Amino acid sequence: MSKENDLNNKILVCGGGGFIGGHLVKRLKSEGYWVRVCDLKEHEFSKSPADEFIVGDLTDRLICNRVVDGIDQIYQLAADMGGAGYIFTGDHDAVVMHNSVTINLNILEASRLANVKKIFYSSSACIYPEYNQMDPNNPKCSEESAYPAAPDSEYGWEKLFSERLYLAYHRNYGLDVKIARFHNIFGEEGTWIGGREKAPAAICRKVAELKYGEKIDIWGDGKQTRSFLYVDDCVDCVRILMDSDFSGPVNIGSEEMISINNLALMIMNIAEKDLEINNIPGPIGVRGRNSDNTLVNAALHWKPKYSLMEGLEKTYFWILDQVISYTDQYRDKSVLPN
Ligand code: NAD
Ligand code: GDD
């Protein structure tokens, strides 16, 4: 398909009021697409450049039927989502599974009825089995290692079920599906406070809030490992996948694995602030996780452009600005948030 024809495609971004969806909408608009967003809420940090922004609940089948009308391609990023403090406590399991699976059931059925051509689904590294992620220095997250399935969270089980749902719609109804497994994406305009923030944003916030020499609380022994991908790289790869003949599931992540204590040290270095690391009990998740990019390199010729340090520099200074304006907002009322 020529680029000219392709630009005639009307795009729906489900969850375009969120972090990755918000960045994706900006990218699609800069490429010249007509874009509709559906989200429970407006974008928190900037005005969306979408042509249409529908505030609506995608667990409602009628809303799904309405938002897919006239649409050629969908990016489905809407989910009940959060970092370790949200998905590993167990307190939100039912609501996470119910909301996210209902969105996926509704949007797929609406897509089938409306003859949507192509749909992207954002799955997660959380689908990988816990038994392959016990050694922090040697986790296994290649795509084929997903089975026998044993995710360590209900969030991961829902993502794995929904991957299968998308693949079933592909097999039985010919819907062109693209599935990516995101590995901890971070960057500006991501959630940084409130309980759903992931480690990079949470630690940037803590470093920004603390004074030199104070203690910084880090959950667990800090030896658990992860890799983190800067959001611009994520959006690049999503766009390449969507325009390719490849369906996935495929990892979209970084292979730059780091321990969480070293992540904290890297952020302190960026902030030029010495703090004492205080490892405390908290929700931990798997001991080690790292993206395996063998398949994404081979199938899409993609690799990240940003190092972890480069992405964190951008993110830290954005969060520092948020912390300063948030503090200013509360200063007048003499009620500073914890
Ligand atoms: P996010 O929470 O910022 O964005 C998700 C958006 O979905 C939010 O704006 C939310 O309001 C919206 N939403 C939730 N329920 C909805 C509903 N019923 N109807 C309409 N909108 C609804 O999260 P994100 O980090 O941008 O993640 C986007 C997608 O990528 C999610 O599916 C997430 O599970 C997946 N993912 C993200 C990461 C990551 O590190 N950020 C990692 C793995 C997978
Ligand atoms: N969130 C957070 N906040 N995590 C912390 C903190 C803190 O203050 N201190 C230490 N950590 C540790 C957590 O205990 C965990 O071991 C590690 O940092 C990473 O935590 P998160 O970034 O919150 O989540 P995750 O990597 O375990 O899972 C995230 O990534 C998945 C994809 O790779 C989640 O966002 C999942 O929803 C996502 O699918």
Confirm whether 22 is domain-assigned.
yes
DSSP secondary structure, 283-329, as one string: ----S------HHHHHHH----SS-HHHHHHHHHHHHHHHHHHHHHH
Residues 52-97 pLDDT 10s: 999 999 999 999 999 999 999 999 999 999 999 999 988 999 999 9
The answer, yes or no, to whether any atom of ligand 2 lies below 6 A from the CB of 257, is no
Domain count, the chain: 2
Dist CA 315 CA 188 (whole Å): 5
**How many Å lie between the centroid of ligand 1 and the Cα of residue 245?**
25
Residue 77 included in any domain: yes
- Short-list 266, 289, 280, CA closest to 218: 280
Closest-lying ligand to the alpha carbon of 60? 1
For the CA of 85, the closest atom of ligand 2 is 1
**Cα–Cα dist 81/145, whole Å:** 23
* C-alpha of residue 153 to centroid of ligand 2, in Å: 12
Output the pLDDT for position 330.
57
pLDDT one-digit tens code per residue, 147-161: 999 999 999 999 999
Per-residue pLDDT tens over the stretch 191-212: 999 999 999 999 999 999 999 9
CA angle 293, 295, 299 (to 5 degrees): 120
Residues 161 and 12 in one domain: yes
The residues annotated as belonging to the active site are 155
Q: What is the mean pLDDT of residues 23-49?
A: 97
Given a cut of 70, is residue 133 above it in pLDDT?
yes
Looking at the domain assignment, is residue 335 inside a domain? no
Same domain, 237 and 284: no
Could you tell me the distance, in angstroms and rounded to a whole number, from the CA of residue 156 to the centre of ligand 1?
A: 14
Question: Does residue 295 sit within a domain?
Answer: no
**pLDDT confidence of 252, banded at 50, 70, 90?**
very high
The pLDDT of 228-252, averaged and rounded, is 98
**Residue indicated by tokens 């490849």:** 246
Q: Are residues 222 and 139 in the same domain?
A: no
Q: Are 280 and 136 in a shared domain?
A: no
220 with 310, same domain: the answer is yes
Q: What pLDDT score does 7 carry?
A: 86
Contact 106, 58 (CB under 8 A): yes
Mean pLDDT confidence for 269-294: 97
Average pLDDT, the chain: 95
- 136 with 206, same domain: the answer is no
Q: Is the same domain home to 221 and 136?
A: no
Domain extent, residue 311, equals: 199-226+256-288+306-329
Q: Are residues 248 and 122 part of one domain?
A: yes
Phi and psi angles of residue 135, each rounded to the nearest 5 degrees, phi first: -95, 115
Query: What's at 68, amino acid-wise?
Result: V
Q: Binning pLDDT at 50, 70 and 90, where does residue 120 land?
A: very high
| Residues framing ligand 1 (Cβ under 6 A) | 15, 17-21, 38-41, 57-59, 77-81, 99, 103, 122, 124, 182, 184-185, 191, 198
Quick check: CB of 133 below 6 Å from ligand 2? no
3-state secondary structure 205-226: HHHHHCCCCCEEEEECCCCCEE
Residue 7: how many CB atoms within 10 A of its CB? 12
Do 123 and 207 fall within a single domain? no
Q: What is the pLDDT, as a whole number, of residue 329?
A: 65
Q: Could you tell me the CA-to-CA distances from 217 to 115, 126, 140, 185, 214 in Å, in that order?
A: 50, 24, 28, 22, 10
